[in-house]
Amino acid sequence: MFDTISKGFRAARERLTGQAELTEDVIDSALKDVRMSLLEADVEFRVVKQFLADVKERALGEEVKLVAKTGGGKMRVRAEDHFVRICNEALVELMGPVDADLKTAAKGVTGIMMVGLQGSGKTTSTAKLARYLQKQDKSVMLVAADVYRPAAVHQLQVLGEQLDAPVYAREGADPVDICREATERAANDGIDYVLYDTAGRLSVDDQLMGELERIKAAVSPANILLVIDAMIGQDAVQTAKQFDARIDISGVVLTKLDGDARGGAALSIRATTGKPIKFFGVGETIDKLEEFRPEGLASRILGMGDLVGLMKDFQEHVDEEQAMSDAEKMLGGNFTMDDFVSQIRTIQKMGSMKDLMDKMPIGQMFGGDLPQDALDKATDDGELIKIEAMISSMTKAERRDPEVFLLEGARERGSKAAALSRRKKRPPTKMRDPSDLRPEAFVDSRVRRVASGSGREEEEVRGLVGRFLAMRDMMGMLGGMFGGSDGLLGKIPGMGKLKQLNALRKMAKDPQAAQALLGGGMPGMPGMPAGMPGGMPGMPGLPDLGGRGPAKAKQDKAKRKKAKEARRKNRRR
């Protein structure tokens, strides 16, 4: 989502690194990258031109200064950060303001007319909007007014069963009569909202528009929402203009936005039609509809994430009591593979890993320097599926305590203290020796059986078990260091657990500190207690476990040196 647009803003940010002032030449060079990315993303040309002029006008001649909080003096901030702030403000204004609230009828049932071209996702969006209203404790009725498309009525009826909502349909009847009768039925039944799923065409024509005008006149809907496929690019603007001219739409529902790397329609529609995008779809299931928040999307485009949207996902899908229970188990070193699978499934309910990572402030967390291959691996939903398959192939005893995968000697050396700690409900006091997690330390028969049952390589099974045990040891040590029953704050009633959880929150907010403490990470694997995707710590020097070895350290050093030279070069200009 918005990958093409984000690429241009990242390039512009890199160009500005080391600049002391936003001069016209500096701004023009940065805006070249932004212009190319916006045009590649299919943003309407006049919108691009106006946006660039707006950004340049705001930035031109501004010396990068900021009043310090202490002493009342002035201190410089980085030019690239100042430029990003200006772009963020301009993007928010371009896409907003937006009020996702729907108009309600003065009395009786409130009608919502869903219109759009065929194949835009109109029927699915109707069901998604119905689910959105149900979450607000509103009753809904779906109306099958598309009598032309084969199986359209049946599709809506199936969705109605999933929603446990009534569906009004009449085979072969006139769509205008169907909508009128459904409105009367909904009013008699005390329904709050009635959603009309109207027919579409492959292109806008007079017959389609005439039918929509007659339905509008017959039922007087409070809202007319145009459903547009985000993947049609600039055609979305023309479609919106044509529908708006004939039936005066209230707003737009943008579908398949998660499947479009460009996202130009999201930036163009409001600016060209004056009508807001109220919702956008990010998945196939009926609960995947989000309110269109310009500030959140602008932040995601610029690599700053959307923490408000992320927290909404957490509140909707994460059981707080279960999250607290998982945190206690993790900090006590008692986390099992079954608990791990439970967290994986929670993350999958929240959406794709790509969507979740888009909502995280990756640019701020990693300084905009996260390697693309690492990001691709972190957002690969297939990795979670592979992990779950391997865990599902384990026995109950193996899932409960993966220590059994290790040979007796390695298990004794590495788990004596841990086993004692678990019996006394205390966290482990030290990490196991890395040599006890080498391939030769594993029970080959167990590894071979799990690999065969899950269709994975034996090396992958050893890697999963090794990382899990290391994660459990480390989180148990964290519990011991920051509280626990034997920690310093643990002596104060109720403070041990609080200190532990606060330590986890700090690690979530400061990835560099977490990286230093944990010694590496495996992207995409859950670790944070509240269902947040965290990292399973890797182990330096263990090639089979994918830790941060010497090669990785050299790559990081070379990358830092290259960035330093680029900053020095920009200063000499």
CB 153 within 8 Å of CB 146? yes
Summarize the confidence of residues 440-445 as an average pLDDT: 89
CB 218 within 8 Å of CB 176? yes
Distance, CA of 399 to CA of 226 (rounded, Å): 49
- For 154-179, write each residue's pLDDT tens digit: 999 999 999 999 999 998 889 999 99
> Is the pLDDT assigned to residue 521 strictly greater than 60?
no
Question: What does pTM read for this prediction?
Answer: 0.64
User: Of 21-35, 256-270, 380-394, which range is least confident?
Assistant: 256-270
pLDDT at residue 540, rounded to an integer: 32
Distance of alpha carbon 201 from its chain centroid, rounded?
Answer: 32
Tell which wins on pLDDT, 81 or 140.
140
CB atoms within 10 A of CB 505: 14
pLDDT at residue 247, rounded to an integer: 92
Range among 73-77, 220-224, 334-338 rated most confident? 220-224
- For 332-361, write each residue's pLDDT tens digit: 667 788 888 887 887 777 766 766 766 666
Distance, CA of 237 to CA of 247 (rounded, Å): 16
Quickly tell me which residue has 């693309």 as its tokens: 372
Half-sphere exposure of 355 (CA within 13 A, CB side): 21
Return the HEC string of 398-429: HHHCHHHHECHHHHHHHHHHHHHHHHCCCCCC
pLDDT at residue 486, rounded to an integer: 46
> Is the pLDDT assigned to residue 246 strictly greater than 70?
yes
CB 329 within 8 Å of CB 335? yes
Tell which wins on pLDDT, 406 or 334.
406
> Is the pLDDT assigned to residue 122 strictly greater than 90?
yes
User: Of 97-106, 300-309, 444-453, which range is least confident?
Assistant: 300-309
pLDDT at residue 211, rounded to an integer: 92
The pLDDT mean for the chain works out to: 75
The model's confidence at residue 408, banded by pLDDT at 50, 70 and 90, is confident
User: Of 259-268, 274-283, 391-400, 417-426, which range is least confident?
Assistant: 417-426
Q: Which pairing describes strands 74-75 and 140-144: parallel, antiparallel, or unpaired?
A: unpaired
CB 124 within 8 Å of CB 284? yes
Q: Which two tokens stand for residue 555?
A: 């790559």
pLDDT at residue 360, rounded to an integer: 66
